[in-house]
A and B are shown apart, each in its own frame.
Chain A
Amino acid sequence: MGLIGSYRLRMRRRRLIARAVLRRKDLVPVAQRTESLRPDAILLFATLRNERVRLPYFLKYYRDLGIDHFLFVDNDSTDGSRDYLAAQPDVSLWTTPASYRKSRFGMDWIMSLLRAHGHNRWCLTVDVDEFLIYPFCETRPLRALTDWLDASSIRTFSAMMLDMYPQGPIQDQPYREGQNPFEIAQWFDSGNYTFTRNWPYGNLWIQGGPRSRTFFASRPRQAPALNKIPLVRWDRSFAYVSSTHMLLPRGLNLVYDRAGGEKTSGCLLHAKFLDTFALKAQEEMARGEHYAESREYKAYLNGLAEQPDFWCKWSEKYINWRQLEILGLMSTGNWA
């Protein structure tokens, strides 16, 4: 990449950071408990809107992994999410009625919080339907991973998004509050992913999975991106470019080995396809606040009307991280 290219990316990064600083004014604090955070606390950042039913299990899952503090942006929920979160002792909460779309789909808000609280800390940025799986996650807390990443001088950790789905129409098994969503959505696609390098950012662009083969089979280019870099030892000068798909400076996107080796990586189990989904899709369509004119949701609604079952004979039933490792969806790398 030439000087001009590098300069453009630098300006892009500056602009993204400036946006985040500007959007900071959108956020109204509801509960702030960040004062007593230790310098080595592991933080989780998330934006949400009307996800009350998912929250108890989400919090439990990440508390068990070893998240020290949660920082949420509530985008004008009306279902009690705000009060529920505000009452949690390890949650700091901001709320805003501003436009999700105009805030780069929440990333401006998240980045302003990352700047304020994430500097020099390990920060996990996820949605409330994304659950991080990493090598040895059953026996080693998240801090074991971040300590190891620190010792290896690695600043970013890749976790590809794995869409999970139930067997049978998604409306058939209602999700109960507090339930592990993967008791219902326990299936996934194991080997239909495509990888391309995304210049000039240098990240991998991953597509595929059930959404791609059902909703986007005739226009694969528009299928959603599955590459994610959710866990970063944050620095004020970093910027998420598009969701958590890629970062600037672009060296942070080099989470893959180019010489044949495997770097350590994980997966984000995506519990989107529960019975709550159809409702959500309709609501989001009406709001029109999502990426690319909510193209994704349009496709879903059409698809859901015709073919509401992702499951097929070759669907793989989720067991544990080791299974994902063997299938080649994630890797232990040299972490043993």
Chain B
Amino acid sequence: MRLGFVMLTHTALDRAAQVARYWASNGCPVVIHVDRRTPAAEHDALRAGLADLANVRFSPRHVCEWGTWGLVAATQAASSMMLAEFPEVQRVYLASGSCLPLRPVGELQSYLDQHPRTDFIESVTAADVDWTIGGLNSERFTLRFPFSWRKHRVLFDGYVRLQRRLGIRRRLPEGLVPHLGSQWWCLTRQTLSAILDGPGRAAYDRFFRKVWIPDESYFQSLVRIHSTNIESRSLTLSKFDFQGKPHIFYDDHLQLLRRSDCFVARKIWPQADKLYETFLSPEAASQPRAEPNPGRIDRLFSKAVERRLTGRAGLYMQSRFPTRERENGRTAAPYSLFQGFAELFEDFETWLSKSAGTRVHGNLFAPDRVQFAGGVGIYNGCLSDSTALRDYNPRAFLASLIWNTRGERQCFQFGPDDAQKITEFIAGDPNAQVSVITGAFAIPLFRSNLNFGIIRTEAARLQRIESEFLSVLRAPTSKARVRIWNLAEFLENPIEPLQTIVDEINPRSPHRLSEVPRLVDLTGFGQFLQNLRNQGMKPVLMGDFPVNGPSPTSGRRARSKQ
């Protein structure tokens, strides 16, 4: 069986010549079409360079502007020439000047022999296609496109909108079901000649002349009329990115291409010397090969597109700076904020880091310095403990901390005395687990040795700030996982909330808490609150404390109810 190649070329003709020579000298006739816009000098050089090969022809040149009829006309002319001048050719393979054969022609021939009378052409019903760019699927066939998309985008778009509004639709030729697919196919002589010489060709051509991107639909639709056996896939490995532009292969893709077992790949960067050298060398054959399997290349390119479209959650960088609400993850990983716990429990940070097995910081937003775990001056990613740097851009500070420590959950203390600019960012972040014991800010004041006048003012200030924080947390826009108790309520049963929080931080630890943190001594706290009231302040966030009675668990180790 003989295989012939039709090549559509426009740039990097030296590479096209190299590939054409490879095919031709391996016994496959080649018909080359050179875009009419290519400078004559380059075209002449190509012809001269291939003049020694008897089975290479050049077809009449058409202007091939992307998305227009010219590409189809060029393909038709070159294919007709192939069928007419090389009567022994049974299959025609359509390739471009930037295609590169990955396996020897012999292997492709025998693969085709194993699939007799089969047309390899990707052909998908236009109605089912969702991968075209620009939202034009079936409208490619029903609208008219007299304006160039490249040169007159505004007119192009405007005319599409106008036709949509007026409801103008073209009639499809009888029997034609629009199909779309990759431009690169391999057809049998029977099918191709039926398409080129069939009785309806003039009508079809007239119709497709005004279809948008006809090179992706002309043969793909007509083959459904003429072929008896369609294998709807392309033998050419060709991947497109989200803008509809083909991914390009470079030297560093060599191993991937080799293992793909595909027959032909496009598009190859013209200066990928190693690829051309390797795959066009006579030794390229060798080990027994399997079915084409582009899976790994697919994954590589779809990951790249995902990186371009979705990006890495929680990352802010020079080429990713999402506007608010389009962050796709404000921060990179879950983290926990605790307010009031360090005031209520002795040595809460040590206890938490032991029980939950995480990194526990002090008050990261403290007014005097950033209290990183262990009191260090510089933390992961070279974050500084300078409050000026932190407060210059608190969001960047927190987002950086969470990004830098991916893989290790961060917990930190927060309080009404801390820098509050960050609160809205945290409240709107689904990664934040926020646990607040309201009113606990009064405990250090209660235990302090300050004058009561100062205590009263300070308590009022902290209460006001904490109330503001609470309303931010309770706002409808809040997305954080928020838990709020008032101090009295929390003291009734401190273990259960702790258990819940620790379980959520570290779901893999199935045990009940074996050790619980020690509560500070609250004897007389009720009286302290009453004193505040007597001085004219209204402590509301602590809940109901009996004035004289001891607080529920004061002085004892908190114990689980069970």
Query: Which A residues are within 8 Å of any B CB, using their own CB?
Result: 136, 139-141, 143-144, 147-148, 151-152, 158-160, 189-197, 204, 206, 209-210, 212-213, 217-221, 227, 255-265, 312-316, 328-336
A196 adjacent to B393 (CB under 8 Å): yes
B317 adjacent to A195 (CB under 8 Å): yes
A212 adjacent to B389 (CB under 8 Å): yes
Contacts of A333 in B (CB 8 A): 304, 307-308, 319
8 Å CB interface, B378-425 against A? 378-384, 386, 388-389, 392-393, 396-397, 400, 403-404
Q: Which of A144, A189, A261 contacts B269 (CB 8 A)?
A: A144
Q: Which residue of B lies closest to A260 (CB)?
A: B328
A255 adjacent to B381 (CB under 8 Å): no
Query: Looking at A141, A257, A262, which has the most chain B CB atoms within 10 Å of its CB?
Result: A262
Contacts of B545 in A (CB 8 A): none
Q: 6 shortest A-B CB distances, which residue pairs?
A: A191-B381, A334-B308, A336-B304, A265-B319, A189-B382, A191-B404
Contacts of A190 in B (CB 8 A): 381-382, 404
Would you call B459 an interface residue if the criterion is a C-beta within 8 Å of the partner chain's C-beta atoms? Answer: no
Roughly how many angstroms separate A315 CA and B384 CA in the complex, as a whole number? 12
A139 adjacent to B248 (CB under 8 Å): no
B404 adjacent to A256 (CB under 8 Å): no
Q: Which of B252, B310, B312 contacts A140 (CB 8 A)?
A: B252
B389 adjacent to A213 (CB under 8 Å): yes
Contacts of B397 in A (CB 8 A): 194
Query: Which B residues are within 8 Å of any A CB, using their own CB?
Result: 241-243, 245, 247-248, 250-252, 269, 271, 300-301, 303-305, 307-312, 315-323, 326-328, 378-384, 386, 388-389, 392-393, 396-397, 400, 403-404
A257 adjacent to B388 (CB under 8 Å): no
Q: How far is the CB of A152 from chain B (nearest CB, A)?
A: 7
A256 adjacent to B321 (CB under 8 Å): yes
B326 adjacent to A260 (CB under 8 Å): yes
A332 adjacent to B389 (CB under 8 Å): no
A328 adjacent to B383 (CB under 8 Å): no
Given contacts A191-B383, A260-B311, A312-B382, is CB(A218)–CB(B388) below 8 Å?
A: yes
A328 adjacent to B245 (CB under 8 Å): no
Contacts of B386 in A (CB 8 A): 213, 217-218, 220
A265 adjacent to B318 (CB under 8 Å): yes
Q: How far is the CB of A28 from chain B (nearest CB, A)?
A: 37
A336 adjacent to B247 (CB under 8 Å): yes
Q: Which of A147, A159, A193, A260 contacts B320 (CB 8 A)?
A: A260
Mind listing 16 A-B residue pairs with CB under 8 Å? A140-B250, A144-B271, A158-B319, A191-B381, A192-B400, A206-B318, A209-B382, A210-B382, A213-B389, A258-B322, A261-B310, A262-B307, A314-B379, A314-B380, A328-B403, A333-B304
Given contacts A194-B393, A217-B384, A260-B310, is CB(A139)–CB(B252) below 8 Å?
A: yes
A262 adjacent to B251 (CB under 8 Å): no
Contacts of A159 in B (CB 8 A): 318
Query: Looking at B245, B319, B386, which has the most chain A CB atoms within 10 Å of its CB?
Result: B319
Q: Which of A136, A147, A148, A262 contacts B252 (CB 8 A)?
A: A136
A328 adjacent to B317 (CB under 8 Å): yes
Contacts of A255 in B (CB 8 A): 318-319
Contacts of A212 in B (CB 8 A): 389
Q: Which of A140, A210, A332 contacts B307 (CB 8 A)?
A: A332
Contacts of B378 in A (CB 8 A): 213, 312-314
Q: Which of B247, B271, B300, B322 contacts A257 (CB 8 A)?
A: B322
Contacts of A140 in B (CB 8 A): 250-252
Q: Which residue of A lies closest to B391 (CB)?
A: A220
Q: Which of A204, A312, A316 contacts B318 (CB 8 A)?
A: A204
- 17 other contacts beyond A194-B392, A334-B242, with CB at 8 A cut-off? A136-B252, A139-B251, A141-B271, A147-B248, A152-B243, A192-B384, A192-B400, A217-B389, A257-B311, A257-B322, A260-B328, A261-B311, A261-B320, A262-B317, A312-B378, A315-B382, A331-B317
Q: How far is the CB of B439 from chain A (nearest CB, A)?
A: 35
Contacts of A206 in B (CB 8 A): 318
Contacts of A336 in B (CB 8 A): 247, 300-301, 303-304
A195 adjacent to B316 (CB under 8 Å): yes
Roughly how many angstroms separate A190 CA and B316 CA in the complex, as a whole number? 13
B318 adjacent to A227 (CB under 8 Å): yes
Q: How far is the CB of A307 from chain B (nearest CB, A)?
A: 12
A193 adjacent to B400 (CB under 8 Å): yes
Contacts of B243 in A (CB 8 A): 152
Q: How far is the CB of A223 from chain B (nearest CB, A)?
A: 9
A158 adjacent to B318 (CB under 8 Å): yes
A258 adjacent to B321 (CB under 8 Å): yes
A258 adjacent to B317 (CB under 8 Å): no
B396 adjacent to A194 (CB under 8 Å): yes
Contacts of B382 in A (CB 8 A): 189-192, 209-210, 213, 312, 314-316
Roughly how many angstroms separate A143 CA and B319 CA in the complex, as a whole number? 21
Contacts of A147 in B (CB 8 A): 248, 269
Q: Which residue of B lies closest to A195 (CB)?
A: B316
B250 adjacent to A144 (CB under 8 Å): yes
A332 adjacent to B304 (CB under 8 Å): yes
Roughly how many angstroms separate A159 CA and B318 CA in the complex, as a whole number? 8
Given contacts A219-B388, A334-B304, is CB(A259)–CB(B326) below 8 Å?
A: yes
Q: How far is the CB of B257 from chain A (nearest CB, A)?
A: 13
Roughly how many angstroms separate A90 CA and B8 CA in the complex, as a whole number? 37
Q: Which residue of A lies closest to B320 (CB)?
A: A262
Contacts of B312 in A (CB 8 A): 262, 328
Q: Which of A148, A191, A261 contacts B403 (CB 8 A)?
A: A191
